[in-house]
Amino acid sequence: MSERFPVFRLMSKGDRMVARDGLVLCFFMRRPHGEIAPALWRALQTYRRAILPQSLNWYGAEDGDTLPLDDKGWEHIRWKLLERPWGDAWNVDLEEDCSEIGGYHFEYRGWRLDAPSFERDEDSSCGVSFTFPTEYLLGHGPAHLRTVALELAHELPFSFGYASLAVISPHGMWYAARHELIGLLNRYMGLDFYHLDSTCSVIGTRARGAYWLTFLGQPLLSQLGGIEALRHKLPFQDITFHPLEGERLLLTLGQWPDAIDIQSSRKLDVAHYRALAHLLEPLLYEERSGWVSLDKDNMRRWLRRLCQ
């Protein structure tokens, strides 16, 4: 299966790795931080158990510095997520390597959505991402990664979530190699390109697209007609349905994730991806910033690439 997975390292002019291949799991929750904080902490512990020790070694401090993620650092992260009594925003960044992009990252963007400044903003959501290098998928297999994703989903009150092959590059570090990045995205339609900060500010309870693992919470699942309606609209052997508690659903699009390489010599059979993408298209969020380029329509077209 490895031929389906692009392997790449994008470097800056100073020979610093700013993006690499991997997988990302993202969940978006239209809940205030205080309500989801305990679940988020449990999900972080699930992630830590799933990866090798010392896979997360650094964290971002409030002053912009990067500090070692030792016992003292973990205690600070726990205090920040669960006990800090003040603030309207919670940003947590945990990294494998402080000098370049590694395979393991944890990012969280949380808000006091019940604060006066957010009460009328229906487009903001708390969001979290967990990344893995491609080697993790090849070493453990897709069933294991799906199990990890389900364990994370069990903890989190998501409205939408997904797991996908991806360009791993938090904080927009990909910008230093943007020309090479555009070439990758044009070739691999199944390769996700994410920017948690930007998406959290606009996604609300809407969807982001069709992915290998697509998690549908509320109100999205009801807006799509519910599980039985989706079974009727998505009659593909390559799609499996896994109902979750709380009227939620996991759709799995094939045994393995697919980068959808349009230059591949093998026959592309992605009708199931396109069918789900078409169903979700009316429920996709709209980008407001040009974080890929100055043209916001570029991002809009890319988010709808499987709807063509």
pLDDT tens-digit series, residues 50-105: 999 989 999 988 877 899 999 999 999 999 999 987 888 899 999 999 889 999 99
Express each pLDDT in 190-202 by its tens digit: 999 999 998 998 9
- Give pLDDT tens digits for 135-164: 999 999 999 999 999 999 999 999 999 999
Q: Which of 105, 17, 123 is nearest to 57 (CA)?
A: 105
- Measured in degrees and rounded to the nearest 5, phi and psi for residue 236 equal -110, 135
Of 184, 213, 194, 222, the residue nearest 285 (C-alpha): 194
Please provide the average confidence, as pLDDT, over all residues in the chain. Answer: 91
More confident residue, 98 or 25: 25
What's the rounded mean pLDDT across residues 20-49?
97
